[in-house]
Structure 1
């Protein structure tokens, strides 16, 4: 019983810290209409601002996450939670145009690289094997909780505070996350692993099953973060073209859409357990692809129909999330799991960078103020998850080389 309670306490601590640390996650997506107007940004420039967060992530993640095979991931988490706080404070205090904003938002993404997957590694290193899959599902689902809360509090507070003050609040929340892990999680001994991380990288790069999961995660993140990066802007455009109570509070709808990630991700992992991971992923990813196109085509619908369709689509984008991550973890031996997670994050969050940028480029190409432009933009999301489905199709033909002992 005490071991079970200890596992639950660990999961609760890391999930709470993750949710709090993500208070600033939706600041740029939520403020994108305002910042675009204030700084006279094109849709492509706005897409770069939304996506640069994930470029910072992918620059740092190979180093930071692979280091967790050699040092306690808790140490990396604490340092990067502090860095996130500095980046949020710097954006609020010093960003006054596109390029300064890009620099600070890139740094915030680097902070995420040292908290999200290292947090997962620190958690799974401390959990018994039997609890790791479901612990992973709850932790990855909490990403959606944190993102949803971020949209929600920003929607509620932004009318009362100037936007730089919102970043100060996010910086304080990053400090709180640091405190939660520092006080609530004991240090762990250094793992006895091979010190030559180049060997680790060679091992994971040869494993085609792990690469298939990485490709699936690339497509998942392309779709998910392209959608989240532009959802508030899309709802704001819809409300300007046809005012309606459903779209008058775009941050609230974005929060609801993001909260749906939690049950969808957990149910997705359970579905993968019941029906088989490969079969599940190859079913839900085409569903999400079709719904992306449906949302793009449905802009002329009554808002009573369109907004529920957006929420259904939002849920579908997360049916594969925990199933992909848990699949990678169960396919990887403990000694190289940090390196495998580093590659997974690197490839996956490259998709998170591509998604918002491709969305903005399509908008500029086909018309930011036309339904055709938004349809083209949503079609880029369908392309992203289609790439992920293609990668997952390689699972059946790919032998595994890093099965856990």
Structure 2
């Protein structure tokens, strides 16, 4: 190719590639009841299997995303998508217990580290400044589209195909994502950035506004990925206890809950632009925390009440997603944006790792077969977003940014 496509085509290409890459995202959460039974896993072990994906992410993302300040992020995306395809194929072929499952799912998380934020950086590097915030909102919202489609197709096919076949299909989708970016996005020139050394990291770590967004993202991901890791298992438990047509297809409900992230995330960013980012985030994060508590104490309700409540909660926890990421990007100067994204992703996805584990620990502590266990588990989600709300409140105490992009 001789040049880059239009802004709309750029956004569409990266969003489709991300959705393909996300095809395997819900494999472990959707198959957790089956894998737990097959591999005799406790709730804590199941939480580790869900959370290890994000441990792989946070170990790799500081290096991979900070590199995008020096080299074209497209190259990192291509490598990350290749790793994802290999990890999913490896899980399909060789995972036969907790230890091997942890290894391959960890590697899949490393692949996400090479695609999600590097893909965002590759996109924003190619977009005009005027459309970067909205491009970011659509890209981050596509994470929810991809995750929702992942829950949907897995839920529809897991009764028809053995679980290794599902991992193999996801591996093919990851390979297609790599090919789409390779063929559809032209290589770009690296930014004229200062070397990414100790002084560069110090400038990011010393920016209290960046740290506030990182803390908010930590709490958001704790809640979001703790919820997504255990939603199918929770619906499976409620249906086994009290069969109900509303809970008979947990994969479909999980898909719908995840799809709601898309309009919620986009509308959340528009709300932040209209009412002010700090004010918006400080309002919507406590809302999802309250709903986490309400859901936790609603397990005895019928599916007619519980499922709509879960869907409202799922939407509420995404009202801050794009607003947080767009806030970080627009308030960070271009020459250190990659390093800021690396820190943001590392801290944020540490929350994604902790959320499923904390949920599983609470289940084991209070009883996986008891309502008290699930109530305690949902309260851990409220704790996560509560921390995020506290962190984002530090924005008001931080000095304004010296650069506006």
TM > 0.5 fold call: yes
Contact 2:265–2:318, Cα closer than 8 Å, also in 1:
yes
Cα shift readout 1:281-335 (whole Å, capped 9, x = no counterpart): 0000000000001111001111101100000000001000000000000110000
Superposition pairs of residues 75-90 of structure 1, within 5 angstroms: 75-90=75-90
1:171 aligned residue: 171
CA distance in 2, matches of 1:54, 1:181: 23
2:383 aligned residue: 383
3-state SS, counterpart of residue 247 of structure 2: coil
CA distance in 1, matches of 2:196, 2:381: 39
3-state SS, counterpart of residue 403 of structure 2: coil
3-state SS, counterpart of residue 118 of structure 1: helix
Superposition pairs of residues 349-360 of structure 1, within 5 angstroms: 349-360=349-360
1:195 aligned residue: 195
1:275 aligned residue: 275
Superposition pairs of residues 89-168 of structure 1, within 5 angstroms: 89-168=89-168
CA distance in 1, matches of 2:327, 2:144: 19
Query: How many Å apart are 1:404 and its aligned residue?
Result: 3.6
Superposition pairs of residues 310-389 of structure 1, within 5 angstroms: 310-389=310-389
Contact 2:260–2:314, Cα closer than 8 Å, also in 1:
yes
Which consecutive unaligned segments of at least 5 residues does structure 2 have? none
Contact 1:25–1:147, Cα closer than 8 Å, also in 2:
yes
Query: How many Å apart are 1:190 and its aligned residue?
Result: 1.8
2:18 aligned residue: 18
CA RMSD of aligned residues (A): 1.2
CA distance in 2, matches of 1:5, 1:135: 14
3-state SS, counterpart of residue 187 of structure 2: coil
CA distance in 2, matches of 1:5, 1:337: 23
2:54 aligned residue: 54
CA distance in 2, matches of 1:398, 1:190: 31
Query: How many Å apart are 1:4 and its aligned residue?
Result: 12
Contact 1:152–1:252, Cα closer than 8 Å, also in 2:
yes
Superposition pairs of residues 207-286 of structure 1, within 5 angstroms: 207-286=207-286
Contact 1:218–1:349, Cα closer than 8 Å, also in 2:
yes
CA distance in 2, matches of 1:384, 1:318: 14
Cα shift readout 1:251-301 (whole Å, capped 9, x = no counterpart): 000000000000000000000011100000000000000000111100111
3-state SS, counterpart of residue 6 of structure 2: helix
Query: How many Å apart are 1:245 and its aligned residue?
Result: 1.1
Contact 1:208–1:400, Cα closer than 8 Å, also in 2:
no
3-state SS, counterpart of residue 340 of structure 2: helix
Contact 2:4–2:185, Cα closer than 8 Å, also in 1:
no
Query: How many Å apart are 1:401 and its aligned residue?
Result: 4.9
3-state SS, counterpart of residue 29 of structure 1: helix
Query: How many Å apart are 1:5 and its aligned residue?
Result: 7.3
CA distance in 1, matches of 2:397, 2:341: 22
> Does residue 70 in structure 1 map to residue 70 in structure 2?
yes
1:298 aligned residue: 298
Cα shift readout 1:214-263 (whole Å, capped 9, x = no counterpart): 00000000000000000000000000000111111100000000000000
3-state SS, counterpart of residue 193 of structure 2: coil
Instruction: Give the TM-score normalised by the residue count of structure 2.
Output: 0.98
CA distance in 1, matches of 2:255, 2:341: 28
CA distance in 2, matches of 1:62, 1:4: 28
Which consecutive unaligned segments of at least 5 residues does structure 1 have? none
3-state SS, counterpart of residue 289 of structure 1: helix
Cα shift readout 1:369-396 (whole Å, capped 9, x = no counterpart): 0000000000000000000000011010
CA distance in 2, matches of 1:136, 1:201: 23
Cα shift readout 1:141-197 (whole Å, capped 9, x = no counterpart): 000000000000001111111000100000000010001100110000121111243
Instruction: Give the TM-score normalised by the residue count of structure 1.
Output: 0.98
